[in-house]
Chains A and B, each alone.
Chain A
Amino acid sequence: EAGVAQSPRYKIIEKRQSVAFWCNPISGHATLYWYQQILGQGPKLLIQFQNNGVVDDSQLPKDRFSAERLKGVDSTLKIQPAKLEDSAVYLCASSLGGQGDYEQYFGPGTRLTVT
């Protein structure tokens, strides 16, 4: 079974520029998550989708971050404009979803450096 795919793996941008990350979850997984992991910290949930609907985006800085999951499969996370403090690894995860005890499976992440 193929895992969660993410691209690009690395991105370096200057502050105030925009950037987009792409994620393709495991086939058949209804729930998709975007996490931000700052160096030395655990991942923090930014947004959770159930199919193509948003379940939780309470920690997403909506003035600069946006995410979509068209057709309930792959997803994109965008930052515009980027700030220095956005330097982090952005992790995408997926799970079967719904009520129950489902594991989350993570992709390799995108390491963003904002200079």
Chain B
Amino acid sequence: SQQGEEDPQALSIQEGENATMNCSYKTSINNLQWYRQNSGRGLVHLILIRSNEREKHSGRLRVTLDTSKKSSSLLITASRAADTASYFCATGNFGNEKLTFGTGTRLTIIP
């Protein structure tokens, strides 16, 4: 069954605003990752946060992880048109070789 569910499914904001996407999952995880997929392209890894971490930053990206709520959020600050893409969370679970991807949030940045 699907592990990650992103929320919202779609998000449109003005350039320069911040974008927040959420991911909820069901079972204990080893780590949680966020990926970006531009239209017609493959997925690109953005950031990985381990189960013992609560927050991580990378440039304009900020990821939080709340294992008690089984949720994570991805914040993109000062959005740009080039941030328009689908964003997926993926969970790595203990005792399992694979990553399980969520349903994705389609982000549109309006110039």
**A and B: bona fide binding partners:** no
Chain B interfacial positions (CB closer than 8 Å to A)? none
